[in-house]
Amino acid sequence: MLVAGVDSSTQSTKVVLCRAEDGAVIGSGSAPHPDGTECDPQAWWDALLIAGRGLLDRADAVGVAAQQHGMVALDDAGAVVRPALLWNDMRSARQAVDLIAELGGPGEWARRTGSVPTASFTVTKLRWLAEREPANAARTSMVVLPHDWLTWRLGSAPAFSPVPGDWPRTRPVTDRGDASGTGYFSPADGTWLPGLAKAALGRDIDLPEVAGPAGAVGQTSWGAVLSAGTGDNMGAALGLGLRDGDVVISIGTSGTAFAVTPAGAADPSGAVAGFADATGRFLPLVCTMNAARVLTITAGLLGVDPDTMSGLALAAQPGAGGLSLLPYLDGERTPNRPDAAGVLSGLTTANFTRQNVARAAVEAVLCGLADAVDHLIAAGLTPRRVLLIGGGARSAAIRAIAPGVFGTEVAVPEPAQYVAIGAARQAAWALAGTSEPPPWPERAATSYQGVPVPQVRERYAALRDATATWQGPRQEGSAP
């Protein structure tokens, strides 16, 4: 049998077709999404039709994993009320501060929802909608997440039709992993907290049903089983087959550090999000806003392609000759500085070279993620090994420099669409109806070692802390 996995990320849709028994990938496709911090969900569907052409209709089961937190507001007829606000939209930063204060403070939020909401979380976007677009808020009767919407449409629409036709005919369904990123769900109890959603929006709204990890939630028009789907980080964890002590560092549009644990996290500092995973366990996670895009923008500034920039970075010495970059180009989530901007520090006539600028960019991304791992350790995690994935992991400079910055050996699994593979594995699980996911083989990984360079992190930390109070705000109410 064949199963299809969908990864609907911020930047694109990827589809893989796998053998259900062993996860071997036999076909794949992709299609881009529009750039920005909000998006009409129809663009995701259009991309899915392109990426899944010749793949989805061959699948016996389909699973969807997608970017977390996005607010898809629906009216009574199931129509989208406004473009979805995405996880990287920072306009609800003030609303996050207000909600934390109104509903008991950081400790109470962590206790009830596993997380302290930032502007990324759906709950803060609901409050922004109520305050800034009251007419749209009044039209909203249900709020779903990106993966919920795509799964719902796959189970409701005529096969591959770009026109809604007679859908929806079913009720949207989500899973506990993606739901745990909304800010109005209890990962510990596996239940919605509708009072928090109501407090944010100012009125009651309907919420999707929450399926179990192995649940089959419907079928497509061509008869394929639909799994519950999940969030992108939960999909990656399932695709990688994480074991206790594995810490994943993913360098994509955002940077994340996460692990699968038997018990949930509740960090009152807000650094660690206490998510659920896609298997019935938990996924404590730390997210940074600025990751692979920092490398792309720096390469553009230097007028080179990514491979050339990687070579420039490797030609410089550790520490970039004294240059330090604080890479908060789009604000930042960890630390929580939605209004922050980037800072390049330590410039002299001697060190202001293309090689050092490239090296400083690579070290900055890695230092931010090393801080993220420290937060997981502070929350009780004991790392056994570090796995480096995501588009940024393809950079030779990232792979070579990471062990020195992290101070440990780093394993880089073979390049693959791990989010989509995780979604496919979930689909195979729903098809099998077993108590555990199918035991797909672990993928080969290459190990990288390096000499620790604690001085790089020390200088980065000094710049991070020194700029905590003086970076200027963006215009209130605007997207970054």
390 torsion bin: left (phi>0), alpha (psi -120 to 50), beta (else): left
Tell whether domain 2-240 is in CATH 3.30.420.40. Answer: yes
Rounded CA gap, 384 and 244, in Å?
8
Are 460 and 404 in contact by the 8 Å Cβ rule? The answer is no
Backbone angles phi, psi at 370, to 5 degrees: -65, -40
DSSP 239-272: HHT--TTEEEEEESSSEEEE--BSS----TTSSS
The token pair that represents 64 in the structure block: 């969807």
Q: Mind telling me the catalytic residues? A: 232
Can you give the pLDDT at residue 429? 98
Can you give the pLDDT at residue 253? 85
Q: CA dihedral in degrees (126, 130, 134, 138; nearest 10)?
A: 60
Distance of CA 96 to the CA centre of its chain: 19
Please give the model's pTM, rounded to 2 decimal places: 0.91
H/E/C letters for each residue in 390-445? Answer: CHHHHCHHHHHHHHHHHCCCEEEECCCCHHHHHHHHHHHHHHHCCCCCCCCCCCCE
Which tens digits make up the pLDDT trace of 434-443? 999 999 999 8
Are 151 and 217 in contact by the 8 Å Cβ rule? The answer is yes
Can you give the pLDDT at residue 164? 42
Rounded CA gap, 460 and 363, in Å?
9
Selection from 46, 114, 49, 128 nearest residue 86 by Cα: 128
Which stretches of the chain drop beneath a pLDDT of 50? 159-168, 472-480
- Do strands 385-389 and 225-227 pair parallel, antiparallel, or not at all (unpaired)? unpaired
84 torsion bin: left (phi>0), alpha (psi -120 to 50), beta (else): beta
